[in-house]
Structure 1
């Protein structure tokens, strides 16, 4: 059993699991669990641990067929999502992170990936990642950095996957320009305006319709409200994270609202101007920042 590191700020507590992908175990404040720990049997590398949120590096969501082509070279990844022939969410969530700095309310974790032996199937380029959690009594800030530690250019993406509790009449609101519909393989099929049933521009019940789609042109803010608990949460991200993956699995007590840089399967769709995939030269870095603020409502 991996140890949980606990941060405290006022009446808020945050549990971290460096050995389980640098993930969040729980986040509690004012008698409310703002994140929902979830055991996902498809994510085999989490070894059955309940995880409430985890970083997505060096890419978000799926890469079709575990294959992409970059600078004239074909790369093949090892499937990481049970039940699908698919690499998903990068490999940071599959690895142990080092705890580099710890204070009462802050922690900095790091990961050095070198593609040797079986690790080459996770990602074929060397990179260094850093993850910083800063807890406040009324919120949580998360910083993510990826540095190209290779001698070659490499494509990268990033994001964060929080699970929010679905109870107490959860309502959700955000603004985005468009959304990608999915084909039978869960890959983007058609880009349509974020209107009608796709729109959350007016805050509405999160509902139980199955959504697992990537929104583009996201404003960078999302709003969640648990009216029966009397709490609201504002999620804000830096300009690098302008896609939002909404995941509302039916009959589950959670939803995912994931700020990410790249569209789903963006590594095979770089001809799309806003695919969000960044190419880093050796030594170049990419950063993203997320802030979640809670209040009474």
Structure 2
């Protein structure tokens, strides 16, 4: 079993799993767990480890049919989500990350992906990614950097996939202009206004709604509140991350709330102006930042 690296700041503790995709194992302070460790049998590369959050590089969510076309070339990705014919969440979560910098409350992890014959089915371009965690007693900051180390242009996206506990009357609020409905293949089908049952503009109970959809035109802020525990959490993301994937599987004790740069299947949606995939020339970089702040309520 991979060892857990722990950061501390006052009463707060953050467990990291560099060998398991640079993932978060836990984030807690006192009697409150702000992230919920989840074992997902569909993500076989996590080897059955419970993780509470993980980076999404070099793209977020699904790629239809494990296939995309870029600059006239067809690329085929290895499926990475058991039970579905799709690659999902890039390959950073499948790999071991190197510890580059470490202090009591901060860690910087690095992944060097070289598109060798063995690894190209994960992602056909070479890149370097850095992931920085900064823990404070009142919050957690996550920084993502991706650099194109290939000799060719490449399309990239990024984000982070945290799991939040769904107990104690969890309430959620955020503003977004639109949401993508899904077809039978779980791919985006129709863009509609984020209104009615899709709207979280006024904070409301998450309840047992079944949502697994990508919101567009996200304001960059989301608010979670556990009223029976007396805690609230604000999630803020930098302008590069203007899509938000909400995942609320019924009868499960967690939700996913993922700040990301690209819409689901963004690699196959070049005609959509805000699909969110960015083309990096060799040597170019992309960054994204997420800050989660704790408060008592």
Instruction: Tell me whether the two structures share a fold, i.e. TM-score over 0.5.
Output: yes
Equivalent runs, 1:183-198 vs 2, <5 Å: 183-198=183-198
Counterparts of 1:48 and 1:118 in 2: how far apart (Å)?
Answer: 23
Are positions 1:296 and 2:296 aligned together? yes
Counterparts of 2:237 and 2:159 in 1: how far apart (Å)?
Answer: 10
Q: Deviations over 1:88-139 (max 9, x none)?
A: 0000000000000110000000000011123110000000000000000000
Counterparts of 1:228 and 1:75 in 2: how far apart (Å)?
Answer: 49
Structure 2 match to 1:84: 84
Q: Which of 174-183 and 116-125 deviates more?
A: 116-125
1:270 deviation in Å? Answer: 1.3
Counterparts of 2:118 and 2:83 in 1: how far apart (Å)?
Answer: 20
Are positions 1:203 and 2:212 aligned together? no
Structure 2 match to 1:247: 247
What is the TM-score when the length of structure 1 is the normalising length? 1.00
- Where structure 1 has 5 or more consecutive residues not aligned to the other structure, the ranges are none
What secondary structure sits across from 1:294 in the alignment? strand
What secondary structure sits across from 1:222 in the alignment? strand
Aligned length: 297
What is the TM-score when the length of structure 2 is the normalising length? 1.00
Counterparts of 1:251 and 1:283 in 2: how far apart (Å)?
Answer: 45
- The alignment's C-alpha RMSD in Å is 0.4
Counterparts of 2:296 and 2:251 in 1: how far apart (Å)?
Answer: 27
Counterparts of 1:232 and 1:292 in 2: how far apart (Å)?
Answer: 10
Structure 2 match to 1:276: 276
1:207 deviation in Å? Answer: 1.3
Counterparts of 1:273 and 1:243 in 2: how far apart (Å)?
Answer: 13
- Where structure 2 has 5 or more consecutive residues not aligned to the other structure, the ranges are none
Q: Deviations over 1:241-283 (max 9, x none)?
A: 0000000001000000000000000000011000000000000
Counterparts of 1:136 and 1:33 in 2: how far apart (Å)?
Answer: 15
After the TM superposition, which segments of 4 or more aligned residues of structure 1 sit over 2 Å from their partners?
A: none
Counterparts of 2:118 and 2:165 in 1: how far apart (Å)?
Answer: 36
Counterparts of 1:121 and 1:80 in 2: how far apart (Å)?
Answer: 10
